[in-house]
Structure 1
Amino acid sequence: MMETRRPKLRWPGFNELWERNRLGKISKLFSGGTPSSSQSNLYGGEIPFIRSGEINSTTTELFLTEKGLMESSAKMVNKGDLLYAIYGATSGEVAISKIRGAINQAILCIRPDIEKEFLKNWLLVNKEKILNKFLQGGQGNLSGEIVKSLEVCYPSLPEQQKIASFLSSVDERIELLERKKEKLEAYKKGVMQQIFTQQIRFKQDDGSEFPDWEEKRLGEVVKVQGGFAFKSEKFKQTGIPVIRISNISNNNNFIETENLVFYDTIKNDVNFTINKGDLLIAMSGATTGKSSIYNLNDKAYLNQRVGLFKRKSKSLCYAFLIQFVFSTMFKNQLKSLLVAGAQPNISSSDIESIKISLPEFEEQEKIAAFLNTIDENLETLDSQIQGLRTWKKGLLQQMFV
């Protein structure tokens, strides 16, 4: 039993058992509070007001006045303090604060006697274990008393420092890649705006100008094909994938595969078949208006309330269409067409009514190739980020007890 206090992976020269202690005995902990939202003079000042979803951010949505801080139970924390989210969906999230500001009651500030970077990663490693033990069915909140009662295993300070230093360098590498990705995303967004408003124009191979762009309705060059009403009771674990609105990802430009369902072959399926590279759009539900590129190798079926963009004019380059649909030009027009109700929805004819300015086919190809290169670089960065996170997660399991 005592051997469980030795991690699987250690630096040479360290072999002693790790100590075990309650977090409340090796840390000072406090939470904050929220000023009354009915008193406007408590907000709009210069003090960042950190809420649980912002513990790892460099800025905040809300700011307090000095009066707001003094007349509430909000508490100040310093840049470099260890913050732990204890309420709702963010319960168990942990970060070292990047700013000095005030915290609300959904956050604990932990000032440990042990190395804080070590403790941060110990809390990350044990997040699921903590939530499963103290939150029934994933519902409810943690508390200061619960966190104080957590039994932390930790080595000598020199070993803590080695672990902390190593993991900090991994985190810095991840953050560097994330910043590069954010900058490239911002660059692409800006350059797309300039391209689709024709502030930037491409030239022909001989250096001459391309003809003026021509404004059309999307319906003149594409058909938005609606899906088939597949019977949910006939969904299977194998067969042909059925792409539903839940498979249109909110996180990236590709299909969400975690909740894929499958179906047997249907007759006359040509209108409802999706192939790799096809562009899809959610037409109802929480992801209404969100588009995804179908990136799986096998063909799939199109479920109802998912739209498939089908090219019907040779004047349209499909890769250009994809870039346009992911642009703010398309999204802003789409937003004005959304039908609000119990849940938003949009029709094929609505989408086909959206205006698109079309350059000559060759210029479309040049634009698409340029933007696709940026997308490829973004995908490479994302792959590197996810790879590092997975590698770090595997290491954490072996470096902590």
Structure 2
Amino acid sequence: MENNVIPALRFPEFTDQWNSDKLGSIATFSKGKGISKADIDENGATECIRYGELYTVYSEVISEIKSKTNLDIDSLVLSDANDVIIPASGETQIDIATASCVLKAGVALSGDLNIIKSETDGVFLSYYLNNAKKYKIARLAQGISVVHLYSSQLASLNVNIPSPDEQTKISAFLMSIDKRIKILEKKKAELEHYKKGVMQKLFARTIRFKKDDGSDFPDWEEKKLGELGETFNGLTGKTKVDFGEGKPYIQYMQIFSNSQIDTSQFGLVKIEDGENQSKAQLGDVFFTTSSETPNEIGTSSVLTVEVDEVYLNSFCFGYRPNSLDELVPEFSQFFFRSENVRRKVIKLAQGSTRFNMSKLELVKIKFDFPKKDEQVKIANFLISIDKSIEKVGVQIEDSILFKQGLLQKMFV
């Protein structure tokens, strides 16, 4: 075969061309053996991998095993260290082209897994197949409702393989990037967990801030939501043809997905002169009125910036505080998503297959509110945590983009 293959990006100590071959010439193939979901036991004696976990749990390298089974070990197919596994069936062609290297020997491999054994570095091969050859593998898969990938098809795949030393260097480098990403993801998850815990304590008042002079803030006051503001409706009288151009409006997912309105995500709607439509303003709290589950009803988001002319979608309603000194916008974004508030709001859900909530009932609920100065202290503290979470999130995104850029140039 043609042997004139050099990647665009490589480590300087390597200059030799990569060797072109068929995967079937450098590897042997076998299949796993059935392990059903019912066979999984968290106290099982044998670690195991089910094919569905390649989509949901694992990436290119499998070092820690999630599942265990108590099936007779003699009835199982066990891994050798360095095995590369690829699903033998799946829902789509692109999903099935998912390779992972098993670093441990003795792991039971379930049915519907193609097992690739070779002298090639398995970690290198899994990264290589998942990136340089992903779409070619996808095109090999056959089927309509269920897609299948056979070892004979994998064997026909053209591959380009560097020297063992270069394989090892590439594998170690890419694993180091993935390790950094996992560390950052763990850090982000820990910050999110910390925020959730501290929010519960702040709004349950098991912890309290002090005033700047060290004295206590006043007790929180119980008030009905209707005493502090009033509700208003979203857009009325609009049809599908009215959307896509015109004035900005707050969309349902802007409310559902974030505690504060992302002003870069407005939709557009036609508003004629003289129309009687409610406009959103700084400090407004928006609630979803309908959801598929009771736990999602009344999800809130707050407009924390000044806007000129912005409307609200028709599947949500707004709540406008009488005074931003009584209900500080930055405080509201956390308060209405706190566990104490959500417990009360969820009780308003009505329905069976689809759940709805009455805004008239919402304003009757009594909540405990702190004074403005304490609201500001709470908001500033939680915002600082959010900024830390956002910073780590950006680092994760940057690392993933960096890895993707490398993968496009390091393989041929």
Q: TM-score range by the shorter chain?
A: 0.7 to 0.9
Kept after mapping to 2: 8 A contact 1:276/1:299 = no
User: What amino acid does structure 1 have at the position aligned with 2:241?
Assistant: E
Provide closer, same or farther for how the CA distance between residues 249 and 317 of structure 1 changes in structure 2, counting only shifts above 3 A. Answer: closer
Q: How does 1:378-397 map to 2 (within 5 A)?
A: 378-397=389-408
Match of 2:313 among 303, 306, 331: 303
How far off is 1:17 after superposition?
A: 3.4
How far off is 1:336 after superposition?
A: 3.7
Kept after mapping to 2: 8 A contact 1:245/1:284 = no
How far off is 1:180 after superposition?
A: 1.0
* Structure 2 gap ranges (5+): none
Q: How does 1:76-91 map to 2 (within 5 A)?
A: 76-77=78-79, 82-85=84-87, 86-88=89-91, 91=96
Provide closer, same or farther for how the CA distance between residues 364 and 255 of structure 1 changes in structure 2, counting only shifts above 3 A. Answer: closer
Question: How far apart, in 2, do the equivalents of 1:256 and 1:91 lie?
Answer: 36
**Residues 107-157 of structure 1: CA deviation (Å, up to 9, x unaligned):** 555444322222222233247624752568996434343445443322222
Mean CA deviation greater in 8-17 or 22-31: 22-31
The reply on whether 1:328 has 2:339 as its aligned counterpart is: yes
Question: How far apart, in 1, do the equivalents of 2:137 and 2:301 lie?
Answer: 33
Question: How far apart, in 1, do the equivalents of 2:131 and 2:289 lie?
Answer: 39
Which structure has the bigger radius of gyration? Answer: 2
Residue of structure 1 equivalent to 2:58: 55
User: What amino acid does structure 2 have at the position aligned with 1:366?
Assistant: K
Residue of structure 1 equivalent to 2:252: 245
Residue of structure 1 equivalent to 2:5: 5
Q: Percent identity?
A: 30
TM norm structure 1: 0.79
Question: How far apart, in 1, do the equivalents of 2:407 and 2:169 lie?
Answer: 13
Secondary structure at the aligned position of 1:215 is classed as strand
Residue of structure 1 equivalent to 2:43: 45
Residue of structure 1 equivalent to 2:167: 160
How far off is 1:304 after superposition?
A: 1.6
Provide closer, same or farther for how the CA distance between residues 16 and 246 of structure 1 changes in structure 2, counting only shifts above 3 A. Answer: same
Residue of structure 1 equivalent to 2:326: 315
Question: How far apart, in 2, do the equivalents of 1:131 and 1:299 lie?
Answer: 51
Kept after mapping to 1: 8 A contact 2:224/2:365 = yes
Q: How does 1:26-175 map to 2 (within 5 A)?
A: 26-27=26-27, 28-35=29-36, 37=38, 43=41, 45-46=43-44, 47=46, 50=49, 51-52=52-53, 53-56=56-59, 60=66, 63-66=68-71, 75-77=77-79, 82-85=84-87, 86-88=89-91, 91-96=96-101, 102-105=108-111, 107-126=113-132, 129-130=135-136, 133-134=139-140, 140-145=146-151, 146-175=153-182
Provide closer, same or farther for how the CA distance between residues 247 and 214 of structure 1 changes in structure 2, counting only shifts above 3 A. Answer: closer
Match of 1:364 among 375, 379, 382: 375
Q: How does 1:11-30 map to 2 (within 5 A)?
A: 11-27=11-27, 28-30=29-31
Question: How far apart, in 1, do the equivalents of 2:128 and 2:344 lie?
Answer: 47
How far off is 1:333 after superposition?
A: 3.5
Kept after mapping to 1: 8 A contact 2:278/2:312 = yes
Match of 2:186 among 158, 176, 179: 179
Question: How far apart, in 2, do the equivalents of 1:4 and 1:308 lie?
Answer: 65
Provide closer, same or farther for how the CA distance between residues 207 and 117 of structure 1 changes in structure 2, counting only shifts above 3 A. Answer: same
In the alignment of these two chains, the number of paired residues is 392
How far off is 1:166 after superposition?
A: 1.7
Provide closer, same or farther for how the CA distance between residues 324 and 136 of structure 1 changes in structure 2, counting only shifts above 3 A. Answer: farther
Kept after mapping to 2: 8 A contact 1:10/1:399 = yes
User: What amino acid does structure 2 have at the position aligned with 1:14?
Assistant: F
Provide closer, same or farther for how the CA distance between residues 143 and 382 of structure 1 changes in structure 2, counting only shifts above 3 A. Answer: same
Match of 1:201 among 208, 212, 221: 208
How far off is 1:359 after superposition?
A: 1.5
Kept after mapping to 1: 8 A contact 2:285/2:319 = yes
Kept after mapping to 2: 8 A contact 1:30/1:144 = no
How far off is 1:84 after superposition?
A: 3.9
Residue of structure 1 equivalent to 2:221: 214
Residue of structure 2 equivalent to 1:264: 270
Kept after mapping to 1: 8 A contact 2:282/2:329 = no
Q: How does 1:275-286 map to 2 (within 5 A)?
A: 280-285=286-291
The reply on whether 1:192 has 2:202 as its aligned counterpart is: no
How far off is 1:373 after superposition?
A: 0.2
Question: How far apart, in 1, do the equivalents of 2:37 and 2:143 lie?
Answer: 31
Secondary structure at the aligned position of 2:147 is classed as coil
How far off is 1:280 after superposition?
A: 4.2
User: What amino acid does structure 1 have at the position aligned with 2:43?
Assistant: G
* Structure 1 gap ranges (5+): none
Secondary structure at the aligned position of 1:337 is classed as coil
**Residues 144-187 of structure 1: CA deviation (Å, up to 9, x unaligned):** 43445443322222222222222122111111111111111111
Question: How far apart, in 1, do the equivalents of 2:260 and 2:32 lie?
Answer: 40
Match of 2:240 among 232, 237, 243: 232
TM norm structure 2: 0.77
Provide closer, same or farther for how the CA distance between residues 311 and 268 of structure 1 changes in structure 2, counting only shifts above 3 A. Answer: farther
